[in-house]
Amino acid sequence: MTQMNVESFNLDHTKVKAPYVRLAGVTEGDKGDKIYKYDLRIKQPNKEHMAMPALHSLEHLMAENSRNHHDRIVDIGPMGCQTGFYIAVLNDDSYDNILEVLEKTLNDVLEADEVPACNELQCGFAASHSLEGAQELARELLNKRDEWTEVF
């Protein structure tokens, strides 16, 4: 496999075992700030994927609720392959802290009674949401909490 510029393109997707959370990279700024990018893999690559309405709602719920547990979330964005998300945080190198924030955030998802910003004013595809689907994904992840640290 030829070395690629994108870190995840260098990851052998046939060897990983979802679900997991792994540090995918660290980017240091000119002033010493560091962005830690995590790969939250929910579905097994090339075997299964998240349905778009569920993924979309989980994105909204995690993006909104994670910031209640961590003040330096830069972004939570879905992977185009629909198997997971990237979580970027500023100046927090504690893997265990990220796992705790994720666990709290997923519990928030289970307790939600609506998807935040699920309307045409605040969302680019407001018709494509599923709170129930997002909650099922969160439940699946939390049920396998003890596997999050095992990538392979």
Domain that holds residue 131: 7-143
State how far the Cα of 115 lies from the Cα of 133, in Å rounded to an integer: 11
Task: Give domain status of residue 109, yes or no.
Answer: yes
> What pLDDT sits at residue 144?
98
Task: Give domain status of residue 2, yes or no.
Answer: no
Task: Give domain status of residue 21, yes or no.
Answer: yes
Task: Give domain status of residue 53, yes or no.
Answer: yes
Task: Give domain status of residue 12, yes or no.
Answer: yes
Query: Looking at the DSSP assignment, which residues form a beta bridge with residue 73?
Result: 89
Helix ranges, the chain (H): 52-66, 95-111, 131-143
Task: Give domain status of residue 42, yes or no.
Answer: yes
**Could you give the number of structural domains in the chain?**
1
Helix (H) or strand (E) holding 26: strand 20-28
Cα-Cα-Cα-Cα torsion 144, 15, 90, 73, nearest 10 degrees, comes to -40
> What pLDDT sits at residue 59?
98
10-residue block means of pLDDT along the chain (152 residues)? 90 96 98 98 98 98 98 98 98 98 98 98 98 98 98 96
> What pLDDT sits at residue 1?
76
Cα-Cα-Cα-Cα torsion 20, 21, 27, 32, nearest 10 degrees, comes to -160
| 60 appears as a binding residue in the annotation | yes
CATH number for position 114:
3.30.1360.80
Task: Give domain status of residue 148, yes or no.
Answer: no
Task: Give domain status of residue 38, yes or no.
Answer: yes
State how far the Cα of 34 lies from the Cα of 131, in Å rounded to an integer: 33
